[in-house]
Amino acid sequence: MRRRVFRNFVTAVVFGFLVPASSQAQNASLLGKVDIDGSSTVYPISEAAASGFTKDFPNVKVNVGVSGTGGGFKRFTIGQTDISDASRPIKSTEFEAARESGIEFFEIPVAYDGLTLVVHKDNDFVDHLSVDEIRKIFTAEGSAKTWSEVRDGWPQKPIKIFAPGTDSGTFDYFKEVVADKEGSLRSDMSTSEDDNVLVTGVSGSPNAIGFFGVAYYEENQDKLKSVPIINPETNEPVSPDATTIENGTYAPFSRPLFIYVNARSFKRPEVRRFVAYYLQMAPKLAAQTGYVALPKTVYAEAMKHCRGGNTGTHYLTEDLKKRSGAVTELYKTTSTVN
């Protein structure tokens, strides 16, 4: 897998307040640990960051867990972790939980992802899907039992569905796009917070379909086929790749990924240096783990937030209503709510 590559490279520490790379003895004097939990989608990037960082700072232990975005926020908002991986912005309920616990945080976008729908590698009839057809498959209201119920001409074969668990930010994002606020996803799907379980399920079932972050598809192209999605504006089928995710034509399933950093933890030298390392390496880590780097201006703004103590979220209003839009438009110091 691509992320294993990172265990073998040595990085140069050149960003901001990091210790110079030549100061190996000084690096070894840095002690402590960094606890991360949350999104399985963000996991490959954080795990790669952890592997590279511990090459330079061998006496800092970085633990990266995978309990899903919701599961990660449950721990983060009561102060159990230093960093929470998230494949969606923080919700108002999670924000309020953090407030009640006195947890202030830095919200840091780290990459773009294209939520990817996949079928078995040998599936020769699913050439593309529209959002309406996806609703037929995945929502409680649609509940198509066979492929022939999705589109005329497709075989009368039963559909087996694999999806992230309800603690997953990918589940939340998909539900919001496909089922809207009032709708719900069907309850007879096979679910798991571990995307590798979903990969195994779809690759082992000829009539299956599933979804997860594009990185897991990139790692398993030999046994899965990605499904082009009809762009609602152009009516053209578009496949997820670096270009279509970055320019937004892979719609409506392109999205930013985040890490949330506990501001109190950030005062500890090992956390501060890890976050700086993460931000400096994020463009390379995103690309090499199958995701898409954000514009440089976003990473610069994120470091400005950390250095300036600018805590809070950009994805809620003052009265905690959801804000949405391009990350380059929302992620500005002036729009922070804390």
Looking at residue 176, which CATH number applies to its domain? 3.40.190.10
Same domain, 144 and 270: no
Same domain for 141 and 177, yes or no, is yes
Clarify whether residues 193 and 141 are in a common domain: yes
Residue ranges in the chain modelled with pLDDT below 50: 1-17, 19
Residue 303 lies in a domain: yes
Q: Average model confidence (pLDDT) for the chain?
A: 90
| Dist. CA 59–CA 207, nearest whole Å | 48
Predicted TM-score of the model (pTM): 0.83
Burial class (CB in 10 A: 0-12, 13-18, 19+), 4: exposed
Determine the pLDDT at residue 246. Answer: 83
Give me the pLDDT at residue 22, please: 58
Shared-domain flag, residues 177 and 205: yes
- Whether 290 and 248 map to the same domain: the answer is no
Round to whole Å and give the CA distance between 243 and 230.
16
Last residue of a domain, which of 210, 236, 254?
Answer: 254
* H helix or E strand, kind and range, residue 303: helix 296-308
b/e burial code for range 25-60 (CB count within 10 A of at least 16 → b): eebeebebebbbbbbbbbbbbbbbbbbbbbebbeeb
Give residue-wise pLDDT tens across range 34-62. 999 999 999 999 999 999 999 999 999 99
Residues 171, 81 within the same domain: no
Q: Look at residues 200, 230, 254 and tell me which one is the last residue of a structural domain.
A: 254
Q: Are residues 99 and 198 in the same domain?
A: no
pLDDT of residue 6: 35
Asked, for residue 338, whether it belongs to a domain, the answer is: no
Domain co-membership, 35 together with 99: yes
pLDDT for 79: 97
On whether residue 337 sits in a domain, the answer given is no
Give 230's strand partners.
Answer: 237
Task: Output the six-digit token pair for 78.
Answer: 């009561």
Does 177 lie in the same domain as 142? yes
Residue 17, in any domain of the structure: no
Residues 246 and 267 in one domain: no
Q: Is residue 327 part of a domain?
A: yes
Q: What is the extent of the structural domain holding 245? A: 114-254
Domain match, 209 and 260 both: no
Specify if 293 maps to a domain.
yes
Rounded Cα gap, residues 84 and 19, in angstroms: 25
Phi, psi (deg, nearest 5) at residue 171: -60, -50
> Could you give the 3-state DSSP secondary structure of residue 333?
helix
Domain end, chosen from 206, 228, 254, is at 254
Q: How far apart are CA 208 and CA 214, in angstroms?
A: 17
- 284, part of any domain: yes
Say if residue 119 is in the same domain as residue 96: no
What confidence tens digit (pLDDT) does each residue in 217-256 have?
Answer: 999 999 999 999 999 989 999 999 988 998 889 999 999 9
Q: How many domains does the chain have?
A: 2
Q: What gap in Å lies between CA 103 and CA 259, rounded to an integer?
A: 15
Q: Which residues contact 280 (CB under 8 A, 6 or more apart)?
A: 13, 14, 15, 16, 18
Kindly state whether residue 202 falls inside one of the protein's structural domains: yes
